[in-house]
Amino acid sequence: MGDLLYCRAGFEPECAQEIEWHATQRGGHGYARAERDSGYVVFNGEGPTPAVRELVFARQSLALGAELKGLDPRDRLGPVLEWLRANEVRVCDAWVEAPDSTAGGELTTLCRGLEAAALAALRKHKLLDPASTQRLHLCMVSGTHALLALADVATASPWRGGIPRLKLPREAPSRSALKIEEAWLVLMDEAERERWLRAGLTAVDLGAAPGGWTWQLARKSIRVTAIDNGPLAQHVLDTGVVTHERADGFRWRPRKPVDWVVCDMVEQPSRVATLIAHWLVDGHARAALFNLKLPMKKRWPEARACLDGLSEALANAGKGAYDLRAKQLYHDREEITVVALPQRSKRGSRSAS
């Protein structure tokens, strides 16, 4: 029937533009249906669908099976069970959820109770199979309107709503510490985290103050040079692995290459993307993680232009293959977070493009 995409409320147009762009790039076609501030997009089209990790503005990507309207409050699960039986579908689990929106927040209690009932009903009707590769998602738009969808467990986001729930430690210098932690979880797999976030690596944090990202890197025992004319929290400096240099993040360069350059400066996205391109092309850093603060209008075209420009700069410089992955994270606002990792091999690579 199509695809169901979860996104940040208010960014439905960008999510819709992106999925339509992907359909065209893959030789398919289709159209997206989006309602402002709903927190989700429905895409009707043909052709291969990108995995959620390839999408910038979607937190979750699901195969839409049916749109159920006019549900009887006394038997909301009847049509769900009927659809599963008619399509001979068995699932390994069932999540009943609501979009991350104002309206969705009012359905939390309903979703919790309905999920317990759904799991019991699936067991009773022998529609629950631990060996199944599909998970049932029932997205409640209202008390009488639901979207029935299926997740491929291997490729879908492993978190409800596509949102890893993180708690800000008391000692974090700022809430931005959650951005980089979420980026590591969402944009990197376990093997990459083991390789790229191990003790003894080196990093430069451009625009570091008050030190949220530097603090997270220091917790991994990565040696960080924090660049900012502003002050860093004293306990960040007291970690013993942080050096603070008061300098302009756009002008400063290291004396020898580092493993990471990270950047969360409030600046034009094209300027930040160009800065990171110089760091990678000139060999100052092997990998990068940075934020792009998007404009109020034409946010998808701007994001696409920045990612394409960085890819082109790396290709023209003969720097080898890079994986570029971008996502508007839960802890982002009017921005997206991008990671650039050199590929060890082309096999199994993923890209934001």
Active site residues: 293
Q: CB neighbours (10 Å) of residue 353?
A: 14
pTM given for the model: 0.93
Domain CATH for 33: 3.30.2130.30
Of 138, 162, 186, which marks where a domain is finished? 162
Tell me: do 244 and 327 sit in the same domain.
Answer: yes
Residue written as token pair 């529609």: 127
Tell me the per-residue pLDDT of 181-202, one tens digit each, with 9 for 90 and over: 999 999 999 999 999 999 999 9
Tell me the per-residue pLDDT of 335-350, one tens digit each, with 9 for 90 and over: 999 999 998 754 433 4
Residue written as token pair 């696409």: 304
Tell me: do 208 and 108 sit in the same domain.
Answer: no
Domain CATH for 203: 3.40.50.150
- How is residue 342 written in tokens? 């050199």
Tell me the per-residue pLDDT of 125-184, one tens digit each, with 9 for 90 and over: 999 999 999 999 999 999 999 999 999 999 999 999 999 999 999 999 999 999 999 999
Tell me: do 143 and 188 sit in the same domain.
Answer: no
